[in-house]
């Protein structure tokens, strides 16, 4: 079933707004006047203990801010020649949140957490003559993705031109995605930022690792949402973005340098990277490199501690240092932080 997105939907449903904490316990948070209403935010068991301690401390301190978010990073490490490095240990990583060192709570080498991969394929008018070759490469990518990983891995498919269409929901059935790919044809403009924004919303509540793979040949031309809205949506959903930019074989005349720069910056801020590829084997190689990175990612998580109070736009900047010289790490640039304030027996959400 295809879903066409004509309007942007709020994530608040019946007064409940959900936040992307990865756990099974919940705390109900009463919002301040002018906020979203009642917030039901899942939190980790250790965070529940922290809330209990905060409530106990009310007699001494009537207002206490408690951070209940487990921040997680997906990291790819390469050596100077671009080879993947997979033998690092927890002690090789040092994380800073807004400049403050953090204690790593969880660490996995070559994470086996299931993948949710949303594939966004550009079917605007400029792709018409090359779309079949792109579709063939995407089909091979999906089969390779499902053939090499976790049985719980899932992929979904979106197309975007002047509108964004969800062609296939999350599935482990490569044939279902291939059927939808074969029905694509090129027309209209390019609503790239709308596609990223909407696909991020669909990934928001899913368990495991979140990935966007974007196949496009140019810059955004018809989106309602802008670059900042798309990046913010991806950051809030803990997404790693891998754009593949299709470039002309003959010369650079058809390239969109502005579009390339925007996607390069967006990918780097989420821990992904952009690939420039021509059609055929070059495009297949770009997809293969993405799979290699997804199968060798480090999973690192921490509970923020001693972090400076966030500004009105609460983006926390993350930096990661490695103990071994000569290595390069790709991971997210930061996250949008939330906190809970305990005051007079009531926990309040602070945006």
Taking only the tens place, the pLDDT of each residue in 163-172 is 999 999 999 9
pLDDT at 240 over 80: yes
H or E segment at 287?
Answer: helix 281-294
Taking only the tens place, the pLDDT of each residue in 259-296 is 789 999 999 999 999 998 888 899 999 999 999 999 99
pLDDT at position 347: 28
Q: Which residues contact 131 (CB under 8 A, 6 or more apart)?
A: 123, 184, 185, 186
Mean pLDDT of 204-211: 94
Mean pLDDT of 184-189: 93
pLDDT at 336 over 50: yes
Give pairs for 323-329: CB < 8 Å, separation 24+. 323/91, 323/92, 323/93, 323/94, 324/88, 324/92, 326/79, 326/80, 327/77, 327/78, 327/79, 327/80, 327/85, 328/77, 328/78, 328/79, 328/80, 329/75, 329/76, 329/77
pLDDT at position 279: 87
**Token pair in block for residue 118:** 């949303």
**Token pair in block for residue 286:** 């770009």
The domain segmentation of the chain, as residue ranges, is 3-110+298-350, 115-294
Closest CA to 71 of 350, 301, 242, 236: 301
Taking only the tens place, the pLDDT of each residue in 74-91 is 999 999 999 999 999 999
Please give the Cα distance from 351 to 340 (Å, whole number).
Answer: 9
Q: Pick the residue with more confidence: 28 or 308? A: 308
pLDDT at 35 over 50: no
Is the Cα torsion angle 137, 139, 141, 143 positive or negative in sign?
negative
Q: Which CATH class is domain 115-294?
A: alpha beta
- Out of 18-22, 109-113, 306-310, 329-333, give the one with best mean pLDDT: 329-333
Please give the Cα distance from 163 to 167 (Å, whole number).
Answer: 12
Kindly list the distances between the CA atom of residue 335 and the CA atoms of 97, 163, 223, in Å, as whole numbers in the listed order: 10, 29, 24
Mean pLDDT of 148-160: 92
Q: Please say whether the beta carbons of 58 and 344 come within 8 A.
A: yes
Quick one: what percent of the chain has pLDDT higher than 90?
60
Mean pLDDT of 130-156: 93
Considering the chain, what is the average pLDDT of its residues?
A: 79
Kindly list the distances between the CA atom of residue 83 and the CA atoms of 80, 131, 192, 285, in Å, as whole numbers in the listed order: 7, 31, 31, 15
Classify residue 167 as left (phi > 0), alpha (psi -120 to 50) or beta. alpha
pLDDT at position 346: 30
Please give the Cα distance from 168 to 165 (Å, whole number).
Answer: 9
């Amino acid at each position: 079933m295809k879903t066409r997105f004509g309007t942007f939907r709020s994530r608040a449903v019946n007064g409940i707004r959900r936040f992307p904490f990865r756990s099974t316990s919940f705390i109900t948070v009463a919002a301040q006047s002018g906020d979203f209403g009642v917030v039901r935010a899942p939190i980790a068991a250790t965070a529940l203990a922290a809330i209990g301690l905060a409530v106990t401390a009310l007699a001494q301190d009537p207002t206490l801010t408690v951070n209940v978010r487990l921040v997680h990073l997906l990291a790819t490490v390469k050596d100077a020649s671009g080879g993947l490095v997979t033998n690092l240990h927890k002690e090789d990583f040092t994380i800073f949140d807004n400049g403050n060192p953090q204690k790593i709570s969880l660490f996995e080498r070559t994470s086996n957490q299931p993948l949710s991969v949303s594939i966004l394929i550009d079917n605007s008018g400029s792709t018409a003559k090359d779309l079949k070759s792109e579709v063939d490469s995407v089909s091979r990518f999906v089969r390779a993705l499902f053939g090499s990983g976790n049985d719980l891995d899932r992929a979904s498919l979106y197309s975007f031109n002047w509108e964004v269409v969800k062609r296939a929901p999350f599935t482990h059935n490569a044939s279902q995605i291939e059927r939808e790919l074969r029905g694509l044809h090129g027309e209209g403009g390019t609503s790239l930022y709308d596609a990223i924004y909407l696909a991020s919303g669909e990934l928001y509540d899913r368990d495991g690792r979140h990935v966007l793979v974007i196949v496009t040949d140019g810059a955004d031309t018809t989106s309602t949402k802008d670059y900042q809205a798309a990046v913010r949506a991806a950051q809030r959903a803990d997404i790693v973005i891998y754009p593949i930019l299709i470039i002309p074989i003959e010369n650079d005349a058809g390239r969109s340098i502005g579009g390339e720069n925007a996607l390069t910056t967006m990918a780097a801020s989420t821990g992904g990277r952009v690939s420039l590829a021509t059609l055929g084997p070059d495009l297949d190689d770009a997809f293969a490199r993405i799979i290699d990175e997804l199968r060798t990612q480090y999973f690192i998580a921490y509970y923020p501690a001693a972090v400076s109070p966030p500004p009105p736009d609460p983006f926390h900047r993350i930096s990661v240092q490695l103990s071994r010289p000569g290595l390069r790490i790709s991971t997210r640039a930061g996250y949008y932080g939330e906190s809970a304030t305990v005051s007079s027996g009531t926990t309040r959400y602070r945006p």
